Structure 1
Amino acid sequence: MTPLTLLAAAATAQTPEPVAEGSLSFDPTLWLTAGAIVVLLALSAFFSGSETALTASSRAKLRARADRGDAGAKAALDVTEDSERLIGSILLGNNVVNILSASLATALFTKMLGSGGVAMATLVMTVLVLIFSEVLPKTYAILAPEDMASRVAPPIRLVTSILSPIVSVVRLLVRGILVLFGKRTDDDGNVFSVQEEIAGALAIGHSSGAVQKEERDLLLGALDLGDRAVEEIMLHRSRIEMIDGDLPPQDILEMVLKSSHTRLPVYRGERENVIGVLHAKDLLRAVSRAMREIGPEALDKFDVLSVAMPPYFVPDTTPLDEQMREFLSRHTHFALVVDEYGSLRGLITLEDILEEIVGEITDEHDIDAMQSLVPSDTGDYSIDGAMTIRDLNRALDWNLPDEEANTIAGLVIHMAQSIPTPGQVFSFHGYRFEVVARRENRVTRLRIRPLAELSPANGESSEDQ
């Protein structure tokens, strides 16, 4: 309610003669009007507090209460399902009681004070509505939104049902007006998805210190699995350690023993022709059993492919959450990735997907890539070109874009629109990239640092060199 509302209501009322001072206490109409104004102010406070409580309450907390048998919390969940109808009903009810209270106050003060009652009604009602019908109930609601939402949900549900026809007409009018301005609303869409709400809450918690970086990265990693594809985290085929199935059994056994990997793809003829996956334990058990039964000469005639598992191929566009479920249902941890033409693109393991959630997983046979993420005296980070942009962002809390490329080298090549040579320096996205090493057509090592850390004395510019 605004002073303009009060003045508009007052303009429609006739200005009676002021009541004699002695007759005020004996006029029941004045007391009934004053009592009605108090009731209307209480209703306005109820609508204002209910709006704040129902919109600010956490649906997760309300769901937990409803699961424990809280009928009010269940009603709050039901009434907030259609937020547009809820807000429309509350605003309609609040405006009706505010305008009605303003009209009654104008009539009351005009009867008491004459023409000067309009200004007095405006002043008094503005103070009363502001303090007792807006600030006070909303402040109380924001202190314990779930408690208040559980209490006000049943009556608000009744009000919403009663006012639903009027709100539907208003909604149609509003949408018609929005269409004239080229805006359309989606009945089934939400302004924010659940994932975006959680991500926003984690960002706020991290900035305030309530959520640690490791906890934020873990939860965001789990939320992002459905939005990321296998091709984004797979090991590229150029880096896959493979075994030629035509080699002698002694050579294959020696390669398996020297490898740090448990599972190795076996190919025949060319690397694209993968015919099996060899598990180190299966091979060692079979070789040990053959040597016990036949003797040392059994190794010369041993058929390595007899213990190899059939290869498991997956499309490169498979979402990570779906692939993780497939690994669990198939009881396997290893898959070869192919493109739409069936060509080998890389491999992915269950560990790769888990690392997207919990971070780098290393053991005594792994080279800890995070050891290289230590700044030099000049503030540069020496980065492997094959390191993914996502891993670098998570490790150093940077914000390099990963829409156009998956790896750091790929990002530099994309931005440079060429394959750079060692010594070239580029500056983009707020970071300085220096190419350190290149092998054939692959950028293998870079030095990176934020441009903000460059001192003016260095004379570096933000343009490509």
Structure 2
Amino acid sequence: MSLTSAILLLLGGLLIIGLIIAANGYFVAQEFAFMSVDRARLRAQADAGDKSAQRALKVTQRTSFMLSGAQLGITVTGLMVGYVAEPMVGAALGTLLGETGVSKGTAIAVGTVGALLIATVVQMIFGELYPKNLALAIPEPLSKGLARSTNIYLALFGWLIAFFDWSSNALLKAVGIQPVEEPDDTATADDLERIVADSTESGDLPPELSVTLDRILDFHDRDVEHAMIPRSQVGVVAPDATVAEIRQRMATEHSRYPVLAEDDQPLGVVHLGDVLSDSTPADTPVTEVMRQPLVVPEMMQLTDALEHLQATENELACVIDEYGGFTGVITLEDLAEELVGEIHDEHDEDTERDISSHGGNTWTMDGDVHLDEVERAIGHALPEVADVETLAGLVIAKVGELPSAGETVRVNLPVDPRELVEDEQMHRELELTVLSVDRFVPAEVRVELSERPASEDADESEASERESRAGERASGVTEHAEEDAAHERKEGDR
């Protein structure tokens, strides 16, 4: 082969390889763009009349078929690069090296290796990595741009793609696996919680919105006992109370009260509107103006309680336990607070925040703060404790009795599951100090979070074990020395 022919062959080979690599990149971009694109946005744009979005949506509606077509293209172009690189580029490089005085065998070997190396590097960068990263960065415009050509390609080679698709599905069925034609792009409640947590950690989701979404996702799993106002905090009226007494209380306190019998059985509910009528004598018993109570069990889901309140047009329901005892009330405001957080109005006695941050990892919290709010404040999960809903309950459960002011308890937090795949895990501990007590239970608690690498705990444990072994050895030496001294004294006495 002449020098001119070798140069022309080299240039022609490089041009053909470039075109093949471009085709490979096209199929890689096709695969990642249609898998990464937001189908909901495409569907909305398609409904608005966007033709390119309609074409892209058509491709995403047969994802498995599109992926098979992309893999076919990637496989064929990858084989073609190797098929062209050696006979064209390798031979040309061998001839050019031969002109420099290198032996023919060496020139061919070096030319072949060089051609494959160049083709591999160029294909990895421009045929694989660049189109993949491009598709992940801008999936929507890229999928729209590729939609028309992708549909044409799938139509032309559909018969071949269908054959390979059928063959692979037959192999799966042969080993007892049912093929899935389309990926499941739906999300469960647990998936949504992980998405919210990851988006918050990455900074893509504002903390305030993250807390709201977290509350919304938790709402479905909560029961009435979790959100109700407990009996100890509920203002009630006796059945022998008069309208005048109710008016006086409502002027400075609440606008609704449950009416309870002596045995705490709910008899009814009295509203502000029930006692405002001028035609109602002031000495009228409350039992004559009260309404029929809505009674719900503690274990009812909040979603069901909301439906009951809406269906009966009530704003307050009386809550009973499994024994029929009155345990509290739940209102529409309580349900709203489960979604948006604490709501204070002019009738609330305590307008201070239930959770106050002192900077860093220290907070002051009311004892009746729910544990899920504690978790949101500290940013970590608490250990599960049976039948405990509030921070005060957690302190009592850990102490084992009713604590007094100044008493402190430590709670080890569970390992964050996201840290299990990381090299460095953190050990976290809460120090809970009772600041004040009301009705025998913690009313205010100081919460301090400390964290350190788990490896430090292991190091401290090893050091403690070494000190213990050293102490045992020292004790053993001392005992032997005392025995020897005693033996010498006996010998001296003799």
Superposed pair shares fold, TM > 0.5: yes
1:62-77 mapped onto 2 (5 Å cutoff): 62-77=42-57
Decide whether the 8 Å contact of 1:335 with 1:349 is kept in 2: yes
- 1:288-317 Cα shifts (integer Å, max 9, x gaps): 222xxxxxxx333x2423332222233444
Decide whether the 8 Å contact of 1:435 with 1:447 is kept in 2: yes
Q: Which residue of 2 aligns with 1:123?
A: 117
Q: Which residue of 1 aligns with 2:279?
A: 289
- Cα 1:139–1:55, aligned 2, differ >3 Å: closer, same or farther? same
Output the CA distance in 1 between the equivalents of 2:320 and 2:68: 52
Tell me the secondary structure at the aligned position of residue 353 of structure 2. Answer: helix
What is the number of residues matched between the two proteins? 417
Larger RCO (CA within 8 A; separation ≥ 6): 1
Structure 1 unmatched ranges of 5 or more: 1-18, 291-297, 454-460
Structure 2 unmatched ranges of 5 or more: 95-107, 414-428, 453-459, 461-494
Q: Which residue type is aligned with residue 449 of structure 1? A: E
154-163 or 430-439, larger mean C-alpha shift = 154-163
Q: Which residue of 2 aligns with 1:104?
A: 84
Decide whether the 8 Å contact of 2:306 with 2:335 is kept in 1: yes
Q: CA deviation at 1:244?
A: 1.9
Q: Which residue type is aligned with residue 314 of structure 1? A: V
Q: CA deviation at 1:52?
A: 2.8
Tell me the secondary structure at the aligned position of residue 351 of structure 1. Answer: helix
| RMSD between superposed Cα atoms in Å | 4.1
1:268 partnered with 2:250: no
- 1:259-307 Cα shifts (integer Å, max 9, x gaps): x222211122321x2121111222222xx222xxxxxxx333x242333
Output the CA distance in 2 between the equivalents of 1:406 and 1:77: 47
Q: CA deviation at 1:146?
A: 0.9
1:108-257 mapped onto 2 (5 Å cutoff): 108-112=88-92, 113=94, 114-153=108-147, 155-156=149-150, 159=154, 163-167=161-165, 169-170=167-168, 190=184, 193=187, 202-203=196-197, 206-207=200-201, 211-257=205-251
Output the CA distance in 2 between the equivalents of 1:234 and 1:156: 57
TM value normalised by structure 2: 0.70
- Cα 1:144–1:37, aligned 2, differ >3 Å: closer, same or farther? same
Q: CA deviation at 1:350?
A: 1.9
Q: Which residue of 2 aligns with 1:278?
A: 270
Q: Which residue of 2 aligns with 1:401?
A: 382
- 1:151-205 Cα shifts (integer Å, max 9, x gaps): 33455466496535534644675798898xxxx9999995872656665565555
Q: CA deviation at 1:106?
A: 2.8
1:35-46 mapped onto 2 (5 Å cutoff): 37-46=17-26
Decide whether the 8 Å contact of 1:434 with 1:448 is kept in 2: yes
- Cα 1:309–1:403, aligned 2, differ >3 Å: closer, same or farther? farther
Q: Which residue of 2 aligns with 1:293?
A: none
Tell me the secondary structure at the aligned position of residue 348 of structure 1. Answer: strand
- Cα 1:382–1:191, aligned 2, differ >3 Å: closer, same or farther? same
Q: Which residue of 2 aligns with 1:6?
A: none
381-390 or 411-420, larger mean C-alpha shift = 411-420
Tell me the secondary structure at the aligned position of residue 220 of structure 2. Answer: helix
- Cα 1:102–1:64, aligned 2, differ >3 Å: closer, same or farther? same
Q: Which has the larger radius of gyration?
A: 2
Tell me the secondary structure at the aligned position of residue 445 of structure 1. Answer: strand
1:377-456 mapped onto 2 (5 Å cutoff): 381-394=363-376, 396-401=377-382, 403-404=384-385, 405-428=388-411, 429=413, 430-439=429-438, 442-451=441-450
Output the CA distance in 2 between the equivalents of 1:189 and 1:80: 10
Q: CA deviation at 1:222?
A: 2.8
Decide whether the 8 Å contact of 1:62 with 1:76 is kept in 2: yes
Q: Which residue type is aligned with residue 29 of structure 2? A: G
Q: Which residue of 2 aligns with 1:58?
A: 38
Decide whether the 8 Å contact of 2:212 with 2:340 is kept in 1: yes
1:344-383 mapped onto 2 (5 Å cutoff): 344-368=326-350, 370-371=352-353, 373-374=355-356, 381-383=363-365
Q: CA deviation at 1:229?
A: 3.1
Tell me the secondary structure at the aligned position of residue 446 of structure 1. Answer: strand
